[in-house]
Amino acid sequence: MALDTQECVRNAAGREIPAVINDHEAIPFQGVGQYRPTGPKAAPPIRSCADYPSSGDKQVESIKEALRRAGLRDGMTISTHHHFRNGDLVANQVFDAAKELGVKNLRWFPSAAFPCHSPLIPYLEDGTIHHIEGSMNGPLGAFASSGKMKGLGVLRSHGGRWQAIQDGEVHIDIAVIAAPTADPFGNATGDRGPSACGLLGFALADSVFADHVIVVTDNLVPFPCVPWQIQGNNVDQVVVIDQVGVPERIVSGTTVVTKSPDRQLIAEYVARFVRDAGIMKEGFSFQAGAGGITLAFALYLKQFMKEAGVKARFIRGGSNQYLVEMLEEGLTDYILDGQTFDLDGVRSMRENPGHINTSPFTSYNFHGKGNFASFVDVVILGATEVDVDFNANVVTHSDGRLLHGIGGWQNCLFSRCTVLAVPSVRDRIPVIVDQVTTLVGPGELVDVVATERGLAINPRRTDLMEAAKGSSVPILDIHELKAQIDRLCGGAPAKPKFADDFIAAIQWVDGTTIDGVRRVVS
Amino acid sequence: MDPHASCQAGRRGDKIRGDAWMAFTPTSSGGLEIELTSKLEALYGEATRHSLEQWLAQAGVENGRLQVEDKGAYPFVLKARLEAVLQKSLGKPEFQLAPEGKAEPMPPVQRLRPRRSRLYLPGNEAKYMINAALHQPDGVILDLEDSVAPAAKQDARCVVRQALHALSWGECERMVRINQGEMGLADAAYLRQAPFHLLLIPKVETAEELQALEKVVEGTDLLFMPILETALGILNAMEIAQASERNVALTLGLEDLTADLGVVKTVQGAETLWARSQVVHAAKACGLQAIDSVFGDVGDEQGLRESVREAKALGFEGKGCVHPRQIRIIHQEIAPQAKEIDKACRISLAFEEAQERGEGVVSLGSKMIDPPVVKRALQTVEAAISAGLLNQDWRETQG
């Protein structure tokens, strides 16, 4: 199908976005909290027990057979999930089977794609997969950036993915859920088994809303698999294969505490700010992601909490060894976990009653009756670029290439205090710029930019400016910060050259389009 | 030498970041040809080509082929690399490209100032220099000696001079460790106009060495910190301490010293205890600061703490750092400890009261306090205030 990928409209943030995204008219971003769709949510078709074995045994012999029985045909949407991160072995097998079945023009709707999925590039080239809608990390991002993908990439946050499924913007024909442990009925969990990954929250929406749900496991247990994270009553078929994931790749490189002294300094500044500004107080909450800086932040904060005798009510994960230690040492009542980043997290989720399994529905979905992210006291996130209006980018680099997914990043911006902890410059590439290459997070939601040169507080947050007055952390104006970096770098960098055509759309948490990514001309 | 031979400078390879490699091949005609491959082509490719052309024009180079592999080098690094390659090509090691813009104003040269921590920065590794001052050591040492490979000495000299001009060094005292002997004299001559405070002079053994250096830096305000790291140097500590008006501190290097002594360097350090004490005594006898060597194990925080406590107990006032994370630990341990401060405050108050009453004798409770103890207490209070451990108005809260 021929797409006009060049036609564009301007949204409320002043960004040019594609007018049409894969045959659907885009809804331009209207401002934070402005777009209020109405009407009922989407729902899967009614099913009858008469069509399922009363024995409860839904096993079929292979992924290929399960896809065939699910009625796979051209143009369908298949979803997979990234609980195994770079150790996923299932998505590639799904499309191998689809290729063998000779279907074309599939839409792949992963919760995220990783470098381990680069074997799928030939299927994008030969038309088995039409395009990817989901975060693309690494080679797939590079493939899409070069404009070779047939459709537009659509990037959504974890919460935005739930919202798009729930609101019917993305209809999933077949969801394939890789499960570390399952029973023949389809009950499944991620917290045990040889490929244990913790939880399966990213697959929850798919299990509820998809037309057809296939659970794939390498650890089949007799009914019941308890406690289940995916309910067998939503599952159509169960397939047992040799291995669903590579456990050691589930622990990605992002869960290593930074050794860089500059990055440690950033982490320490943030922790001191959180302490000195009075955010760190009895019963507070925080979320720190899996990056090297944020892990170091958690270690500094832990030390300060101990010194002050302060305990948190909850920590939002991505859990890891360091957060688990805080839980087990009594520094927090709960970890509300969205994904587990290492094996300590997996163990703790299995063993600790205070380590709670959450989903994008509870934590991030913007079209719900509230979500957890908005009442976290402070969240520490990364970014590829931040501009002087505090707008931030997390998907493209300054040279315009699309290299990262959004994850829960956009959803977390709604916390009471959002801190972007970033080096001010990376090998002469300024991180603080006059205008972000791609707008992913509106500046009104970014409260603090923390760098090794000090912290810049969003002028909208006069309360934080006041609260930080007694702190020894250096506070500076973001323009001054930018000036320092530009001096070092020999002026602001040139803008990359873009072609007219778009290669991806960036969705906001409400399903509107906040920005488009154009093809880079080299 | 073949006048058309190619010369090189800088560093190349997959692991290099924030640096560049250059090769220049002179030609007698045909103009200039710049071949730039850059990781930052989209962002700074054009700007870099423009800068290179401008700098070549400044140098009066009209013909030749310049190859550049840029791995994210900052402008001052590019300039240093070009400077080095042109020095080699022109056969003029003294050739300099004017630094960009105006250097940040430098804190004044001070004979007496805190020198608790001094962070070593390898002279040919620009990336470690960029943010060094943000970690707030009392001083930074841009090193031309042991951390620089013999083949890279000239390259490092260019990087160090450009970095001194271009970077923001904050309140740090800016030091350069030159090489030994003739090369060291040439280093000093090359750098004498650069904005920095102090020369660290390695392996000093005699007063004559400092006197030779004096001539090179005549007319500047540069201070000296001789490093004693041979048996002869240690034995001549007094003579060396007295050899130059520019001396502000004595320090020592234990790796070289133990090698010279033919002994194994141990954690306990019994083998160098005498040498370290000798350095402390010579320094104090001449009104200089005594500064200890480095603690090399970056990962061993506890070991560093103990090492600083021991150095402080021997009379040292500072320690070298090989990693920014050592700075704060050194400052914490060198600073007067809580008990010490408390006692010093009480003695200071007693002293002031005695003065008000016009009494010569200071007493605390039933104890008489000797004048040197009073003097040290006053110094401790000063040090505690400057380390932020005591409020300026401590009398109101303590008194």
A74 and A59 assigned to the same domain: yes
The residue range of the domain holding A408 is 253-495
Please indicate if any CB of chain B lies within 8 Å of the CB of A399.
Answer: yes
Within a domain: residue A190?
A: yes
Cα B226 to Cα A17, A199, B17, B313: the distances in Å are: 65, 62, 33, 22
Asked if A296 and A178 sit in the same domain, the reply is no
Considering the domain architecture, whether residues A354 and A384 belong to the same structural domain is answered as: yes
A395 within domain boundaries: yes
Residue A2 clears pLDDT 60, i.e. is over it: no
Q: Is residue A139 part of a domain?
A: no
Residues A350 and A432 in one domain: yes
How far apart, in whole angstroms, are the C-alpha atoms of residue B294 and residue B117?
Answer: 10
Q: Are residues A403 and A443 in the same domain?
A: yes
Q: Which residue has the tokens 């960036």?
A: A506
Question: pLDDT category, A340, cuts 50, 70, 90?
Answer: confident
The answer to whether the Cβ–Cβ distance between B42 and A494 falls below 8 Å is yes
* Mean pLDDT value across residues A145-149: 88
Cβ neighbours of A491 in B, within 8 Å: 47
Answer whether B44 sits within 8 Å of A496, measured CB to CB: no
The mean pLDDT of chain B is: 93
Which pLDDT value is given to residue A247? 75
Residue that finishes a domain, picked among A195, A219, A250: A250
Q: How many domains does chain A have?
A: 2
Contact A489 B74 (CB under 8 A): yes
Q: What are the tens digits of pLDDT across the range B163-206?
A: 999 999 999 999 999 999 999 999 999 999 999 999 999 999 99
Q: What is the pLDDT of residues B213-260, one digit of tens each?
A: 999 999 999 999 999 999 999 999 999 999 999 999 999 999 999 999
Q: What are phi and psi of B113, to 5 degrees?
A: -155, 160
Q: How far apart are CA A173 and CA A75, in angstroms?
A: 10
Q: Who among B101, B134, B323 is closest to A452 (CB)? A: B134
**Which residues of chain B have a CB within 8 Å of the CB of A296?**
none
Cβ(A109)–Cβ(A170) below 8 Å = yes
Q: Per-residue pLDDT for A506 more than 50? A: yes
Nearest to B72 among A427, A491, A494 (CB): A427
User: Is A31 within a domain?
Assistant: no
Q: Which residue has the higher pLDDT, B257 or A136?
A: B257
- To the nearest whole angstrom, how far is the Cα of A453 from the nearest Cα of chain B? 7
Q: Which residues contact A250 (CB under 8 A, 6 or more apart)?
A: A83, A84, A85, A86, A87, A195, A197, A343
The DSSP symbol for B285 reads: H
The single-letter code of the amino acid at A180 is P
Q: At what angle do helices A343-351 and A321-328 cross, to 10 degrees?
A: 30
Average pLDDT over residues A274-288: 97
| Nearest C-alpha in B relative to A489 | B74
Domains for chain B: give ranges and CATH numbers. 7-88 (3.30.230), 117-334 (3.20.20.60), 338-398 (no CATH)
Tell me what percent of the residues of chain A surpass a pLDDT of 70: 98
Mean pLDDT, chain A, integer: 94
pLDDT computed for residue A108 by the predictor: 97
Residue after which a domain boundary falls, among A199, A218, A250? A250
Indicate whether A33 belongs to any domain.
Answer: no
Cα(A42)–Cα(A208) distance, integer angstroms: 10
If asked whether residues A338 and A217 sit together in one domain, one would say: no
Structure tokens at B42: 């989209």
User: d(Cα A164, Cα A367) in Å, to the nearest integer?
Assistant: 9
Q: Is the pLDDT of residue B85 over 60?
A: yes
φ and ψ at residue B320, rounded to 5 degrees? -80, 155
- At A22-32, the pLDDT tens digits run 999 999 999 99
pLDDT interval class at A366 (50, 70, 90): very high
Question: B154 and B118 in contact (C-beta within 8 Å)?
Answer: no
Q: Give me the helix-helix angle, B301-314 and B325-334, nearest 10°.
A: 40
Listed range (A115-124, A228-237, B99-108) with the worst mean pLDDT: B99-108
**Is residue A34 over pLDDT 90?**
yes
Say whether both A263 and A388 belong to one domain: yes
Phi, psi of A201 (to 5 degrees): -60, -35
A511 or B394, greater pLDDT: A511
**For residue range A179-227, what is the model confidence (pLDDT) as tens digits?**
999 999 999 999 999 999 989 999 999 999 999 999 999 999 999 999 9
Domain boundary among A232, A250, A268: A250
Q: What is the pLDDT of residues A42-98, one digit of tens each?
A: 999 999 999 999 999 999 999 999 999 999 999 999 999 999 989 999 999 999 999
Same domain, A311 and A413: yes
Please give the backbone phi and psi of residue A412, each rounded to the nearest 5 degrees, phi first.
Answer: -70, -20
Predicted local distance difference test score (pLDDT) of residue A183: 98
How many residues are recorded in chain B? 399
Q: Are residues A286 and A243 in the same domain?
A: no
Confidence of residue A252 (pLDDT cuts 50, 70, 90): low
Kindly report which listed range (A187-196, A512-521, B147-156, B355-364) carries the lowest average pLDDT score: B355-364
The pLDDT of A233-245, averaged and rounded, is: 97
Q: Is the pLDDT of residue A1 over 50?
A: no
Torsion over CA: A144, A145, A146, A151 (sign): positive
Of B42, B134, B166, the CB nearest to A496: B42
* pLDDT band, residue B398 (cuts 50/70/90): low
Residue of A nearest to B166 (CA): A488
**Residue A253 pLDDT:** 45
SS3 A227: coil
For B307-338, letters b (16+ CB in 10 Å) and e give: bbebbbeebbbbbbbbbbbbbebbbebbbbee
Query: Which tens digit of pLDDT belongs to each residue from A290-301?
Result: 778 998 999 999
Answer yes or no: is pLDDT of A123 > 60: yes
Look up the CATH number of the domain holding residue A104.
Answer: 3.40.1080.10
* Complex-level ipTM: 0.89
Interval A426-447 mean pLDDT: 96
Whether A227 and A375 map to the same domain: the answer is no
Q: Are residues A348 and A361 in the same domain?
A: yes
pLDDT digits (tens, 9 = 90+) for A382-413: 999 999 999 999 999 988 888 888 999 999 99
Residues belonging to chain B with any Cβ–Cβ distance to chain A shorter than 8 Å? 17-18, 39-40, 42-47, 51, 71-75, 100-101, 127, 130-131, 134-135, 166-168, 323-325
Question: What is the pLDDT, as a whole number, of residue A255?
Answer: 62
Contacts of residue A102, Cβ cutoff 8 Å, sequence gap at least 6: none
Q: Which one is predicted more confidently, B342 or A103?
A: A103
Q: How close A493 comes to chain B (CA, Å)?
A: 5
User: Which stretches within A171-313 are classed as H helix?
Assistant: 204-209, 247-250, 261-276, 292-308
Distance separating alpha carbons of residues B221 and B109, to the nearest angstrom: 7
Residue A506 domain-assigned (yes or no): no
Residue A509 belongs to some domain of the structure: no
In a domain, A43, yes or no: no
pLDDT of A483: 96
Residue labelled with tokens 């036609």: A7
pLDDT bucket at A474, cuts 50 / 70 / 90 = very high
Check whether residue A218 and residue A269 sit in a common domain.
no
Query: Average pLDDT of B62-75?
Result: 96
